[in-house]
Structure 1
Amino acid sequence: MRRLAALGLTGVLAACGSVSDVGDVPGPASTPGASTSTGPGPAPKPGPGTDTDCGKVVLAQGQRLEVVGSQERACLEEALRDGRGATLSVTEPTVEGDPIVTSWTLADDGTLTADIDSSQDRFGGEPRLTRVLCGRVSALPDPLRCDGSG
């Protein structure tokens, strides 16, 4: 069941771009549980070539980024509007509660990339790290995923 969920996530993300195996490298440690947020980084706007850190969101079972991490998502949207690069990390639990970490990277030109780390998924298959190239987006899809909307 868990393998199907992870494959489904990769399939949804790959719908608009290309997927590549990044390797079997351990990802960041994360503990599933209640949602947490480190808050977005929309402090002063960085200069050219500097990415904005929009924070980290840890979702609990059944939670959505668009609700729990609305501030962090808004930070990413603002960077897109302003033509700035930005990053956002989202941790979601699998059905069994293992963390899947997706690191979203938005380039200055509006290109969106997702690096999915499923190395802590005890029931998942290979690959453990996957990069999804979503292409250029003019607006962030809702929910945040690569689905051909950009």
Structure 2
Amino acid sequence: MRRDRPSNKLQGQFPGVHLTRSVLPALGILLAVASALTGCGGGTATPVPAAPQPPPTAVDHGVGSQFGNFSATEGGAMTDPQGRQCLVWFWDRPLTPDLAIRFRSASCQAADRPGSMIAVELGREIIPLSASRALTDQAGAGAQTR
């Protein structure tokens, strides 16, 4: 008995090709592997850079000057929003063998307490240790109180 209609869809699309049911699963696996390999062979994905982390507020798990202060250097003067003159200071503390953290702050006259000063943080940044005063502090007297 002769069949006039194809036994499967592929055989109907490709006349003369006789596929058995055992070949179809193998063909599906082959196509899946080929598509997976072409996806892997492309260029490498460019990693997304991490967001920069803010400089630390503590050094060696100590807060503020817990492990000693390094000498401060006067960095000029500024006027605060209330019109008072403030002295700007910066000081460096080593973080790693190659990096230091530089703190900048201003000492301003306290409005509510004459003769008293208040500290205003202006910022902090990571700098190369070679550009830091912390090297001269360590070579000289080391950590000191100021």
TM-score, normalised with respect to structure 2: 0.27
Larger Rg belongs to: 2
- Higher normalized contact order (CA 8 Å, seq sep 6+, divided by chain length): 1
